[in-house]
Amino acid sequence: MILSEHNKTADTLVRATAADGGVRCMAAVTTNLVAEAARRHHTSHTVAAALGRTLTGTLLLGAGQKEFDRLTVQIIGDGPVGGITAEANAQGQVRGYVRHPEAEVPLNADGKFDVRAVVGNGMFYVTYESGYEVGLYREPYRGAVPIVSGEIAEDFAFYLTKSEQVPSAVMLGVLRRARNSGETFVEAAGGVIVQVMPGADERTVAAIEAAVAGAPHTTALIREGAQPVDLLRAALGDVPFEVLDERPVGFACQCSHERAISIISSIERSELESILREDKGAAMTCHFCNETYRLDEAALERILVKSSEQ
């Protein structure tokens, strides 16, 4: 794993409450996992920002939910990136990919990466699945809203407010910096979600709204060494909060060499024989993490021998 140069601490996520449970909040520092995703997928600068914000938002969204095994967020727009997919589990592991990692657009009027332009207009989809690992698969929960901003944080906020009916403020950021060599790296990434539950005290909500509006950029704080609790303090201002738990988060994929073998083994025998004859091997690349698994001639022959034994 490649660590960013300024923040070598592990990525973590904190859940907290404020205003006697009337306010729920989640904050995460995700510099390392965003750097790993950008490195694995060879993303352009703007796509790294778009994918990093989506991965962070998905982890934070999952942290606010009690019962799910797998949470998938898909942002499908008509911009050059073509689509972003992030998948998180309840253990704080996340993986994700984009359709066109190389897509790039000019900086926006503020001189920032124009995430909105690379995403475009389209739909924001959320799917919660549970029970599939223990054979108690339940009907997944699905939500969909139009992309209202394309900057991603606003889209998570709109989704939470409209579809889950929990008014939420969402901040997501990815900061990249250039080395002297011109090569860039992810210097800071992270985010915060603050949610107002029904019946929350109005004065507290107003105080939080003012604090959120005036809070410095998440990535500016992380670059200075801020941890998730520091992000919450910045977002909540003077409103006291109670930390419920803190957990490590990271980029992790479920693919493996064994899974690649089992997928190849399920190919029809005649097709497998022609792959062996013509290609002398097979290679499979995982969408989610861009890892390539290669099976050489000998490995394919072993699979054929095994299948003829069955």
Residue 33 found at the interface with Zn ion (CB under 5 A)? no
- DSSP H or E stretch at residue 128: strand 122-129
Distance between CA atoms of 74 and 186, rounded to whole angstroms? 22
Q: Which DSSP symbol is given to 16?
A: E
**Binding footprint of Zn ion, residue count (CB under 5 A):** 6
Q: How far is the CB of 284 from Zn ion (least distance, A)?
A: 10
Residue 184: C-alpha distances to residues 10, 43, 225, 246 (Å) = 20, 11, 19, 30
Residue 286 found at the interface with Zn ion (CB under 5 A)? yes
Binders in 225-264 for Zn ion, by CB under 5 A: 253, 255
Residue 293 found at the interface with Zn ion (CB under 5 A)? no
Residue 34: C-alpha distances to residues 26, 49, 56, 213, 290 (Å) = 18, 9, 8, 25, 14
Q: How far is the CB of 81 from Zn ion (least distance, A)?
A: 20
Q: Which DSSP symbol is given to 102?
A: T
| Contact map string, positions 147 to 186, toward Zn ion, x by CB under 5 A | ----------------------------------------
Nearest to 252 by CA among 61, 59, 77: 59
- Of 96 and 150, which CB lies nearer to Zn ion in the complex structure? 96
- Options 72-80, 120-128, 220-228, 288-296: segment touching Zn ion (CB under 5 A): 288-296
DSSP codes joined into one string, 47-74? HHHHHHHHHHHHHHHHHT-SS-SEEEEE
- Of 200 and 289, which CB lies nearer to Zn ion in the complex structure? 289
Residue 97 found at the interface with Zn ion (CB under 5 A)? no
Residue 37 found at the interface with Zn ion (CB under 5 A)? no
Binding site for Zn ion (CB under 5 A): 253, 255, 286, 288-289, 291
